[in-house]
Amino acid sequence: MDSVQVVCPHCLTPNRVPAGRLGEGPKCGKCGAALLEAAPVALDEASFDAFVARTELPVLVDYWAPWCAPCRAMAPAFEQAAGELRQSVRFAKVNTEQAQGIAARAGIRAIPTMVLYRAGKELARTSGAMDTGMLRRWLGEHVS
Ligand SMILES: [Zn+2]
């Protein structure tokens, strides 16, 4: 793989990045934002398809809700894993209370549920809160 398409988390412009330069803090050619920022990207109805379908790195989406205590408890672990793995996996969050259409389309019945996508296709999913080590191991099983 010579280059990888990643979508800017701020302006949703797809950017091509040479695979060898993912570790060099690539910036969006349009708006200058960091393409691989450490924090999970909050996706909504307007941005979900543009981000998930056009990102060639695997995208792990955490389906959560503000009232869900296990979701809130898992958030720091999810953020830590997002920072550690930023060059190989994009981390995103969908608030299922706001983006009910996306949650319905993904068939989300329990939260937290995490769905791993690549180029818009589902690779794997898991439900229930995980710590950082569990997240790392689960991703290792599904991302080569
Ligand atoms: Zn941008």
Residue 82 Cα, ligand 1 centroid: separation in angstroms? 19
Residue 9 Cα, ligand 1 centroid: separation in angstroms? 7
The model carries a pTM of 0.96
pLDDT for residue 131 is more than 70: yes
Any catalytic annotation for residue 31? no
Residue 64 Cα, ligand 1 centroid: separation in angstroms? 25
**pLDDT, tens digit, for every residue of 56-113?**
999 999 999 999 999 999 999 999 999 999 999 999 999 999 999 999 999 999 999 9
Catalytic residue of the set 8, 11, 28, 71:
71
pLDDT for residue 1 is more than 90: no
Provide DSSP, 78-126. HHHHHHHTTTT-EEEEEETTT-HHHHHHTT--SSSEEEEEETTEEEEEE
Catalytic residue of the set 11, 28, 31, 68:
68
Regarding beta strands 90-95 and 41-43, do their DSSP bridges make them parallel or antiparallel, or are they unpaired? parallel
Residue 32 Cα, ligand 1 centroid: separation in angstroms? 6
Residue 56 Cα, ligand 1 centroid: separation in angstroms? 16
What confidence category does residue 144 fall into, taking pLDDT thresholds of 50, 70 and 90? confident
Any catalytic annotation for residue 11? no
Residue 19 Cα, ligand 1 centroid: separation in angstroms? 19
**pLDDT, tens digit, for every residue of 38-52?**
999 999 999 999 999
Those residues whose beta carbon sits under 5 angstroms from the ion ligand 1 are: 8, 10-11, 13, 28, 30-31, 33
Tell me, what's the pLDDT at 24?
95
Residue 140 and residue 72 in contact, taking contact as beta carbons nearer than 8 Å? no
Q: Distance (Å, rounded) from C-alpha 36 to C-alpha 28?
A: 9
Mean pLDDT of the region 29-42: 97
